Amino acid sequence: MNVDGGTDRADGIAASRLSAADLARNFTDLHPPYAPHEAAVAADRCYFCHDAPCVTACPTEIDIPMFIRQIQTGNPLGAAQTIFDQNILGGMCARVCPTETLCEQSCVRETAEQRPVEIGRLQRFATDAAMKTGTHPYRRAAATGKTVAIVGAGPAGLACAHRLAMLGHDVVIHEAREKAGGLNEYGIAAYKAPHDFAQAEVDWLLSIGGIAIETDSVLGRTITLEGLQQAYDAVFLGMGLGGVNGLPVDGSDLPGVEDAVDFIAALRQAKDLSALAVGRNVVVIGGGMTAIDAAVQSKLLGAETVTLAYRRSRADMGASPFEQDLAASKGVHLMFNVQPLAIRGNGRAQEIVLARTETRDGRLAATGETVTLAADQVFRAIGQTLAGLPDGLKVEAGKIAVTGPGRTGIAGIWAGGDCTAGGEDLTVTSVAQGRDAAMDIHATLTGR
pLDDT digits over 174-226, tens only?
Answer: 999 999 999 999 999 999 998 899 999 999 999 999 999 999 999 999 999 99
Q: Using alpha carbons only, give the angle 300, 100, 45 rounded to the nearest 5 degrees.
A: 115
pLDDT band at 23 (very low <50, low <70, confident <90, very high): very high
pLDDT band at 358 (very low <50, low <70, confident <90, very high): very high
| Residue 9, pLDDT score | 47
| Residue 1, pLDDT score | 28
Instruction: Report the distance separating Cα 152 and Cα 218, nearest Å.
Output: 9
| Residue 388, pLDDT score | 74
Which of these ranges, 5-19, 44-58, 159-173, 252-266, has the smallest mean pLDDT?
Answer: 5-19
Q: How far does the chain reach from its first CA to its final CA, in angstroms?
A: 68
The enclosing H or E element of 206 equals helix 197-206
Domain 13-28+245-380 identical in fold to domain 44-132: no
Average pLDDT, the chain: 94
Q: In this model, does residue 152 exceed pLDDT 80? A: yes
pLDDT higher at 31 or 126: 126
| Residue 448, pLDDT score | 81
The highest-level CATH class for domain 147-242+386-446 is alpha beta
Instruction: Report the distance separating Cα 435 and Cα 417, nearest Å.
Output: 10
Alpha-carbon torsion (111, 114, 119, 121), positive or negative: positive
The enclosing H or E element of 211 equals strand 211-214
**Burial bucket for residue 54 (CB in 10 Å: 0-12, 13-18, 19+):** buried
CATH topology of domain 13-28+245-380: FAD/NAD(P)-binding domain (3.50.50)
345 within 8 A of 351, measured Cβ to Cβ:
yes
| Residue 10, pLDDT score | 47
pLDDT higher at 302 or 12: 302
CATH code of the domain made up of 44-132: 1.10.1060.10
Number of H helices, E strands in the chain: 16, 19
* Of 384, 373, 444, residue with least CA distance to 419: 384
pLDDT band at 4 (very low <50, low <70, confident <90, very high): very low
How confident is the model over 312-334, as pLDDT tens digits?
999 999 999 999 999 999 999 99
Domain residue ranges in the chain = 13-28+245-380, 44-132, 147-242+386-446
Q: What are the strands, taking DSSP E only, across 142-301?
A: 147-151, 170-174, 211-214, 234-237, 243-244, 257-259, 278-279, 281-285
How confident is the model over 221-268, as pLDDT tens digits?
999 999 999 999 999 999 999 888 999 999 999 999 999 999 999 999
pTM of the predicted model as reported, rounded to 2 decimal places: 0.94
Mean of pLDDT values over 262-289: 95
pLDDT band at 345 (very low <50, low <70, confident <90, very high): very high
Mean of pLDDT values over 46-67: 96
pLDDT band at 11 (very low <50, low <70, confident <90, very high): low
| Residue 5, pLDDT score | 39
Helix (H, G, I), strand (E, B) or coil at 266: helix
